Amino acid sequence: MAEEIEKFIHFSKVDFIDIRYETKTETQMQYSSKELKEVGSNITDGYAVRILHRGGMAGMAVTDFKDIKEAIGLLMGAARLASSKNKKPVKLAPAPATKANVKPKLANDPRKVPMEEKLDILKTYNGLILDQPDIKGTELKYFEVNRQKHYMNSEGTDISEELMTVGIAGEISAKRGTQVRNVRVSIGGATGMASLLNRNDVFVKKVKIARKLLDAKSIKGGKYDVILNPAMTGVFAHEAFGHLSEADGIEDKAQFRKRMRVGAKLGSENITIIADSTMPGNLGFYRYDDEGVAVRPITLIEKGVLKGRLHSRKTAASFNESITGHCIAEDHGHLPIIRMGNIYVKPGKFKFSELLEAAKDGLYLCDAKGGQTNGENFTFGTQYGYRVRNGELGEMILDTNLMGNLFTTLKKIRAADNELVFCERGGCGKGVQYNIKSAHGGPNMLITGAVVGGE
Partner 1 sequence: METLLRKTEKISDESEVFFNESRSCTLSVENGTLKNLGGNMTGGYAIRIIRKKNLGSSYLNNLRNREAAVDGAVLSLAGKVGAEFSFPGQSKIASIESYDKRVESLNYSDLLENSEEISNYLEGEVKGQLNLYNGFNRKNVRIINSGGLDRKARTSYVYSAIHMIYPKTSNGVYQSFYSVGPKKIKKKLLDEILETYKATIPTVEVSTGNYPVLFMTDALFPILWRIFEGANGKNLFKNTSPLTGKAGKHVFSESISVINNPLDTAQVNPCAFDDEGVSTRKLKIIDRGVFKSCFVNLDYAAKLNMKPTGTGFRSEFFMPGNPIRTQPVPLLKHMSFATGKDKFGDMVGSMARGIIVSDIIGPHSGNILNGDFSVGLAPGYFVKNGEIVGRVKDGLISGNIYELLKEVAGIEDRVHFPDDPNGNPSMLFDGVRVSAK
d(CA 450, CA 445): 12
d(CA 163, CA 105): 10
Handedness of CA 188, 190, 192, 194 (dihedral sign): negative
d(CA 371, CA 386): 20
Residues 6+ apart with CB under 8 A from 158: 2, 98, 99, 151, 152
Q: Which 8-state DSSP code applies to residue 249? A: G
- Told to check if 115 binds partner 1 by CB under 8 A, we report yes
Instruction: For residue 283, report the phi and psi dihedrals to the nearest 5 degrees.
Output: -55, -35
Using the rule CB under 8 A, which residue among 10, 42, 133, 201 binds partner 1?
42
- Which regions of 1-97 does DSSP assign to beta strands (E)? 16-32, 35-53, 56-62
- Told to check if 250 binds partner 1 by CB under 8 A, we report yes
Using the rule CB under 8 A, which residue among 124, 322, 353, 405 binds partner 1?
405
Using the rule CB under 8 A, which residue among 43, 102, 194, 262 binds partner 1?
43
Using the rule CB under 8 A, which residue among 398, 411, 420, 421 binds partner 1?
398
- Told to check if 424 binds partner 1 by CB under 8 A, we report no
Using the rule CB under 8 A, which residue among 82, 226, 295, 306 binds partner 1?
82
Q: Which 8-state DSSP code applies to residue 67? A: G
Q: Which 8-state DSSP code applies to residue 417? A: B
Q: How far is the CB of 367 from partner 1 (least distance, A)?
A: 12
Q: How far is the CB of 250 from partner 1 (least distance, A)?
A: 7
**Window 150 to 179, contacts with partner 1 (CB under 8 A):** 173, 175, 178-179
- Piece of the chain touching partner 1 by CB under 8 A; list 59-67, 92-100, 293-301, 344-352: 59-67
Cβ–Cβ < 8 Å for 422, 282? yes
**Window 119 to 148, contacts with partner 1 (CB under 8 A):** 119, 136-137
Q: How far is the CB of 334 from partner 1 (least distance, A)?
A: 8
- Told to check if 26 binds partner 1 by CB under 8 A, we report yes
- Told to check if 298 binds partner 1 by CB under 8 A, we report no
- Residue 389 has, within 13 A of its CA and on its CB side, a CA count of 6
Residue (297 or 453) nearer to partner 1, CB: 453
Residue (285 or 338) nearer to partner 1, CB: 338
**Chain centroid, CA 346 distance in Å:** 17
Q: What is the contact mask toward partner 1 in residues 206 to 245, using x (rule: CB under 8 A)?
A: ---------------xxx--------------------x-
